[in-house]
Amino acid sequence: NAGVTQTPKFRVLKTGQSMTLLCAQDMNHEYMYWYRQDPGMGLRLIHYSVGEGTTAKGEVPDGYNVSRLKKQNFLLGLESAAPSQTSVYFCASTRRGVNYGYTFGSGTRLTVV
Amino acid sequence: KQEVTQIPAALSVPEGENLVLNCSFTDSAIYNLQWFRQDPGKGLTSLLLIQSSQREQTSGRLNASLDKSSGRSTLYIAASQPGDSATYLCAVRDMDSNYQLIWGAGTKLIIKP
């Protein structure tokens, strides 16, 4: 049972480059989330999705785009990477409804130089 | 606006001790509260999910309690072991931010052999 899988696990980008982070879940969860975690800042929500084809902004959406073309996948894109986007990115998912817990992926460590 | 506080920020205890981690929240209108553990450089592992209607949940040596009226949750760890060393995070799913979790900053726990 894979749960939530994030790829890649590590990446180094140059300023201005673009990349896509992939999150895949095999639990048939409707809701998916992208967080970033920075020292002293805790977890901050970037974007989220409550279903296939729908996305919404979280707390810190600037500089990121997302897509949810398939229920099991949630993509996070950086169009023009900046050093401020150096962070650890986590994906999470949960079932529809309010009574369920979240399952997290193992994270992607991104460094922008 | 919901705020979640975890005290202490760090805790160091000898192996074998029973210990309590605290999580407080300002608005009692919550659906549930979830405790996570995060090892250095790793993702978040869900420990316990406690619904607003529940008073406590247990898993092995872990016991989480919830007192919604006072805005408090505690995570009790019995007979601590060096392998329990990690950062423990609590997160609340409140009724105003239905799709999102509100996070505490975490308690960094060190168990000394």
pLDDT tens-digit map of B29-76: 999 999 999 998 889 999 999 999 999 999 999 999 999 999 999 999
> Per residue in A30-66, pLDDT tens?
999 999 999 888 899 999 999 999 999 999 999 999 9
Contacts of A97 in chain B (CB under 8 A): none
Q: Does the CB of A60 have a partner CB in chain B at under 8 Å?
A: no
CA distances for A19 relative to A70, A80, A91, B41, angstroms: 19, 8, 16, 22
Going B22 to B94 to A27 to A70, the CA torsion angle's sign is: negative
CA distances for A14 relative to A109, B5, B21, angstroms: 14, 37, 41
How many other C-beta atoms lie within 10 A of the C-beta of residue A84?
10
Nearest to residue A106, comparing CAs of A14, A2, A6?
A: A6
Q: A31 and A25 in contact (C-beta within 8 Å)?
A: no
Cross-chain residue pair B43–A107, CB shorter than 8 Å: yes
Q: What are phi and psi of B84, to 5 degrees?
A: -80, -10
> Which pLDDT score, from 0 to 100, does residue A1 have?
63
Cross-chain residue pair B44–A90, CB shorter than 8 Å: yes
Cross-chain residue pair A43–B31, CB shorter than 8 Å: no
Confidence label for A97 from pLDDT (cuts 50, 70 and 90)? confident
**Rounded average pLDDT over B85-90:** 97
CB nearest to B99's CB, from A31, A90, A99: A31
Contacts of A50 in chain B (CB under 8 A): 99
Pairing between strand B56-59 and B4-7?
A: unpaired
Chain A residue with CA closest to B5: the answer is A42
